[in-house]
A and B are shown apart, each in its own frame.
Chain A
Amino acid sequence: MLVKFNLNGLEKEVNVKANEYLLDTLRSIGVKSVKKGCNASSCGVCTVLLDDKPVLSCSILTVRVAGHKVETVESIQEEAAKLSECFSKEGADQCGYCNAAFALMVHALRKENPNPSAEEIKEYLKGNLCRCTGYQSQQKAIRAYLGGEEK
């Protein structure tokens, strides 16, 4: 069936199966920044923004986003580049398979809560797994990024 939605600011029309998940649709149309880690809503690497809110694209049927706004890291390139500088400074750069999802989460967090405490950041990101970094460096980087953005 034909589904129309707004992807990163452009109107898209995609032919999908009724049981197709957004993650598979996005990757099949060439949006490779969205990753598959578990396909079971338990790792966070497939995060996208649906009408500005982070969702797990492995658990959303594509037909459900008809008429809605979907964003991936391609829509926040400048922020992602800045966040990556903070990651680098704190030693949070490793394989990066989880990173685009973190960039989207941080973007969404900043909109919801421009001045989050360290605890609030942790709470917001607890569903995003990372097997490489041990998290602390990422947390520091994200705090630096959010702090720096305000000033």
Chain B
Amino acid sequence: MRKFKVVNNITPSVDGKGIMMGRAVFTDDLAAQNSLVLKVLRSPHAFAHIRDIDTSEAEKYPGVACILTYKNVPHVPFTRAGQGYPEPSPHDKFVLDEYVRYVGDEVAVVAAEDEETALEAMKLIKVDYEVLEPVLDFEKAMDNESVIHPEDKIHEMFPIGFEPKRNIATAYEMEVGNVEEELAKCDYVVDETFYTQAQAHAMMEPHASNARLDEHNRLVVYSTTQTPFHMRRIICKTLGLPVDKVRVIKPRVGGGFGGKQAFHGEMFVSLVTLRTNRPSKLVYTREEVFGSSYTRHPMRIALRIGANKDGKIQAIDCRALSDTGAYGEHALTVFMIVGSKVLPLYNKVKAVRFGGKVVYTNHVPAGAYRGYGAIQGNYALESTIDMLAKKMGMDPIELREINSMKEKETSPIFEIMGEGTEGTAMIMESCKLPYCIKRGRELMNWDEKYPVKQVGPHKVRSVGCAIAMQGSGIPFLDMGSCTIKLNDGGSYMVTVGATDIGQGSDTIISQIVAEELGTTMDKIIIYSSDTDLTPYDCGAYASSTTYVSGNAAYNAAVKMRERLIKEAAQELKVKPDLVEFDGKTFTSGDKSVTLEDLSTGRLYNNDTHQIAVTESFHGHVSPPPFMAAFGEFEFDTETYEYKMVKYVTITDCGTTINPMLARGQVEGGVIQGYGMASSEEVLYTPNGKLVSDNFDMYHIPTVKEVGELVTEFADSYEPTGPFGAKSVGEIGIDTPPAVLCNAVYNAFGVRIHSLPITPQKIFEAMKEKK
């Protein structure tokens, strides 16, 4: 394997210092001083029709600049999902509508001189609601009498099984072989059903946006977005603006996790600024972040898995029902990932089936969230695999070793299932899953600890394991690009559309460029995600940044190197293939010129012209990263309270471009997944109001709940990735629910079929067992 100088080395992040020192770089830090402040009036009802809305009093309130309601905004259906075009999500949302479909849905927007004025004026808005019967049980949503989207204008962009009159946002079915026949022939069949909750992203920076008009009278929107280019397109289409009149800038983003792929207020600041000619801003309150953005899709997943006495899994049947809440954002694509990035783990089956429906309810909408269906599917699959092992009297690790994906293998699922469309066949050019399992087992000291050990009078420690996979971007769709411009003095200005949302993409892209150009990190200046100044990128989602944007950066750097060698050859009056370049000096025999001299000469006095290149990349495959995870937990046998003792993960993400940032992605993912597994409980009132809309009710892990994290990477190389890399942003989150669920089983012999796994649920399962 190639020896690297910058890539795969310990390299500090390019932005860490400035951020720790408190520089004003986040979206709301950059809002114009005299911005109008926007506040959103939200629905108190889970489902209602607005008969009328009267804003006349509020408009007269001193300091109010503008009020938006459904009566005075464009009535064009769109999706907030923030996806490519055409979107696989139904266009079922209006900027403002005469229906409100969940508690927290937008009714009106008040723009005023300050927050207090906006809030006071808001009290003067009179809304006449016709309250409708809400649908709050997703298992009763389909064909319910209450139709959540009765309006006519809404539509799908291409066939996704959209049947709004039946409360179905989308549906999907696939089958390879004949599942029923194969299951009937199996020596063992297990049949288990699991429920997952509407996890909240809970990124520390709330959603924020602000807008202003520039000196060309163009609209400039700053947003905490993961997808600035999609945002520009969607703002323009929905508000009827030409693309050349809008600029979207993504400043530093304080965590996204999928939650900031979507629109949350950008339409409002755009409209207010266009109407008032004033800068405006909107920052979500924490309650709005929880209750009025979007969540993970809650699901019911039923699995049947059949195997024979020889330990070989023969067939998997997965039926799922997903709750997309009031709007169908990411409804189809998240749903499909439950199958497509989970079931191929066991690729040697004779038959596999996946399908079901995604239904509308009057809950907070669901959308993209790190893991994106894979965490839901993984919880169900990896729990059921343990049940199967138990039934077969087999060791759960051995069952996984026999049946899981290996290098150079494939799964028919890849070809059938893509993201909302057909997929792409691919062979696993890199898959070190067997190593990951073996190494993790060692590091956990599994054979000593499995299944459970008494460690005190009322304390036991048990272990659980799970394996996982994800993807690296969406083949043929996701595109990233990169421009490199040579500065005098021999440094490079790198501009990319790739969206750094805290995961470190600015750093890894700089590393990739520095590596290929043989230079050091201090010679790279990176600027990202500004629709005016950087080339296009689809954005930060689907674990695409390292693989897709990284490959674009790599391609651009290769092209720049070629270009530089040509320029140097001219300078030295030799043929390009006789020129060597070590990153600093071009040499040919006894002639040489430094990059510093060449670059300065080209700008000031010697055949002057700008040297710059632009390249882009889209994948033909989406090589999955793989992981094996092993968790150890300590339980109180009287109260069933528990804590994480240790969590071991071994990840195959190809080359780690930045080993420390890769570790951060895995560990951050693990703890977010552990929150979903253990403590992040979603509570609604009977009327459909989200109660867990603050950090006191919705408990995300604190430093106190984190056990020892042991994080290693397999020595792996993905031939299609930049310097052998695959993506690593999501996979960390996938395993904790199944790992914890399996550990609970190993401790007490009870299976918890819903998340989060609370002491209360263990207690109740124990009562039932007795």
Contact = CB atoms under 8 A, between A and B. Distances in A.
- Do A and B actually bind? yes
Interface of A: 17, 30, 32-40, 42-43, 45, 72-74, 77, 80-81, 83-85, 87-100, 102-103, 122-123, 125-139
Interface string B686-711: 00000000111000111110101100
A36 B700 CA distance: 17
Contacts of A30: 24
A35 B254 CA distance: 10
23 contacts: A33-B21, A33-B23, A33-B24, A77-B21, A80-B20, A81-B17, A84-B16, A84-B19, A84-B20, A88-B12, A91-B664, A93-B664, A94-B255, A94-B503, A97-B203, A99-B20, A122-B703, A125-B703, A126-B704, A129-B204, A131-B668, A134-B672, A136-B706
Contacts of B312: none
A62 B24 CA distance: 22
A22 to B, nearest CB: 16
A80 B202 CA distance: 25
Contacts of B502: 94-97, 132
A83 B20 CA distance: 8
Given A72-B22, A93-B16, A103-B22, 8 more contacts: A77-B21, A85-B12, A99-B19, A126-B703, A132-B664, A132-B668, A133-B667, A134-B669
B15 interface: yes
A39 B204 contact: no
Return the 3 tightest CB-CB contacts between A and B, nearest first. Answer: A95-B502, A33-B22, A97-B254
A123 B702 CA distance: 10
Contacts of B116: 17
Contacts of A35: 26, 204-205, 254
Interface residues of B, number: 57
A139 B20 contact: no
Contacts of B285: 39
A5 to B, nearest CB: 19
B10 interface: yes
B198 interface: no
Interface in B1-57: 10, 12-13, 15-17, 19-24, 26, 28-29
A137 B663 CA distance: 9
B22 A136 contact: no
B663 A81 contact: no
B206 interface: yes
Given A99-B20, A125-B703, A134-B709, A93 B695 contact: no
A102 B19 CA distance: 12
A136 B667 contact: yes
B672 A122 contact: no
Q: Which of B252, B664, B704, B706 has the most CB of A within 10 A?
A: B664
A59 to B, nearest CB: 13
Nearest to A104: B22
Interface in B416-436: none
A137 B709 CA distance: 9
B740 to A, nearest CB: 15
B530 to A, nearest CB: 18
B253 interface: yes
A84 B17 CA distance: 5
B283 interface: yes
A96 B703 contact: no
B670 interface: yes
Contacts of A33: 21-24
Contact of B672 (A85, A131, A138): A131
Contacts of A122: 703-704
A67 to B, nearest CB: 25
B504 interface: yes
A129 B23 contact: no
B286 A37 contact: yes
B22 A98 contact: no
Contact of A91 (B23, B663, B706): B663
B316 interface: no
Nearest to A139: B703
B359 interface: no
A102 to B, nearest CB: 8
B703 A32 contact: no
B660 interface: yes
Nearest to B704: A126
A136 to B, nearest CB: 5
Nearest to B673: A134
Nearest to A90: B660
A96 B696 contact: no
Contacts of B503: 94-95
Contact of B206 (A36, A77, A127): A36
B20 A94 contact: no
A47 to B, nearest CB: 12
Given A33-B22, A42-B694, A91-B664, A131 B203 contact: yes
Contacts of B696: 40, 42
Contact of B694 (A34, A40, A77): A40
B333 to A, nearest CB: 23
B501 interface: yes
A74 B664 contact: no
A122 B285 CA distance: 28
A134 B695 contact: no
- Chain A CB count within 10 A is highest, among B20, B252, B703, for B20
B205 A97 contact: yes
Contacts of B255: 94-95, 97, 131-132
B35 to A, nearest CB: 11
A85 B702 CA distance: 23
A81 B21 contact: yes
Contact of A100 (B15, B22, B703): B22
A118 to B, nearest CB: 11
Nearest to A97: B254
Contacts of B205: 35, 37, 95, 97
Interface in B653-667: 659-664, 667
Given A42-B694, A94-B668, A99-B20, A136 B15 contact: no
A93 B253 CA distance: 13
A123 B266 CA distance: 39
Nearest to A125: B703
Given A77-B21, A134-B667, A137-B663, A95 B694 contact: no
A98 B703 CA distance: 13
